[in-house]
Amino acid sequence: MGAVLETLWTVITLPFRLIFWVAALLGRAAGLALGFAMMVIGFALSAGPYAVIGIPVFLLGLLLTLRSVG
């Protein structure tokens, strides 16, 4: 009886778990894209006269990218 209830519960909650999984995946992808863009912008700024702004932007982008991957 327990196995039947467990299987029924798994089947009922599957759509909700899929929706939450897709939302988490989209959030990670958005964080990855934003972090990569910040790394590129930070590197471009640090190559010029705006190194004071570029280095922190690059580091923030790196941290965001690493957090999204991990």
pLDDT tens profile 14-56: 999 999 999 999 999 999 999 999 999 999 999 988 999 999 9
Burial class (CB in 10 A: 0-12, 13-18, 19+), 46: middle
| Amino acid letter for position 48 | G
| Residues 69, 28: Cα–Cα separation, whole Å | 7
Domains of the chain, by residue range, sit at 25-70
**pLDDT for res 70:** 81
pLDDT over threshold 90, residue 2: no
Are residues 47 and 57 in contact, defined by beta-carbon separation less than 8 angstroms? no
